[in-house]
Amino acid sequence: MAFFKEELMNVKGFAFDVDGVLSRIIQPLTAEGDPVRTANIRDGFAMVHAIRTGYPLAIITGGNTTEVRKRYQKLGVTHLYMGSLDKITFFEDFLKKTGLKESEIMYMGDDLPDYLVMKRVGVPVCPNDAVTEIKSVSKYISDRNGGEGCVRDVIEQVLRAQGKWIDPEKLHWSSF
């Protein structure tokens, strides 16, 4: 685990899947048969802090709903890629737009569409309930399930390691 902690120092950007990472995998369905995505408020808080601290952050998801788009736009995510299982193309666009290297990205995925991207990034991570193939390529498996704070877990670890996490004694709510 010490090796993983050292690798956190190299992270300069984040990318996350939605279903199974930012949202729980068991979800009610609408009358149209679409899943109703969940959102973890603590994940969102950590994402806002990371963005405001200067970390580029991408959402790369096969889903394509107005609700998900609005949620992450409100949090300040400017690299929002939706509607394709070909996540490599989206990932390469994120790298091009940010100027970051693959080795500087932490990517969190949970299922097979995330596999190829996770093989390329410097720090692949996953929630506790990810599928076996994703766990096998992850350098860290959160103790939290998808949609239950796993994103907060990894963002907080990176920012703490780099001395950029929030000091509650100096927290000014006007900055959020």
- Please give the annotated binding residues, written as ranges: 17, 19, 110
Residue list, annotated binding site for Mg(2+): 17, 110
Nearest Cα residue to 79 out of 94, 67, 62: 94
Residue list, annotated binding site for substrate: 19
Q: How many other C-beta atoms are found inside a 10 Å radius of the C-beta of residue 9?
A: 10
Tokens of 135: 């766990």
Residue 141 near residue 147, CB atoms below 8 Å: no
Tokens of 59: 């959402």
Query: What is the distance of C-alpha 8 from the center of its chain?
Result: 14
Residue located via tokens 């996540």? 87
Nearest Cα residue to 58 out of 112, 98, 103: 98
How far lies 166's CA from each of 49, 98, 157, 159, 162, in Å?
A: 8, 24, 12, 9, 11
